[in-house]
Amino acid sequence: QRRRRTFYKLIQTVKENTFLIVTGEAGSGKTTQLPQYLYKAGFCRTGVTQPRRVAAITVVQRVSHEMGVWLGEEVGYQVRFDDCSTKNIRFLKDHVTLKIGVMAAENSA
């Protein structure tokens, strides 16, 4: 019950903001559970930043397995020189996230 309320509040916060940084304890579901909840709530474009290439690839494999989808369908990753991404849930190395932000800013100017 408490967990459901917490995720409901988080989903409301995401609806109210275009950009959100989530912090929490290790093992709390920030990386694996939260993107799945957001996807189920109708958020089709979710990006999750990972500090290392291996972390991004390992986590995306786990999330795609938990969701029961093929890697690259609803869940994907993008790291330097390797793009198996999708528009839905995408795990990115932090430098890729910055590159996407810069490109979006240039396109909107």
pLDDT tens per residue across span 65-107: 999 988 888 888 877 777 777 778 877 776 666 566 656 666 7
- Domains for the chain: give ranges and CATH numbers: 1-21+31-93 (3.40.50.300)
Overall pTM > 0.75? no
DSSP secondary structure string, 8-74?
HHHHHHHHH-S-------TTSSTTTHHHHHHHHTT---EEEEESSHHHHHHHHHHHHHHHT--BTTT
- 85, amino acid identity: S
What is the reported pLDDT for 68? 92
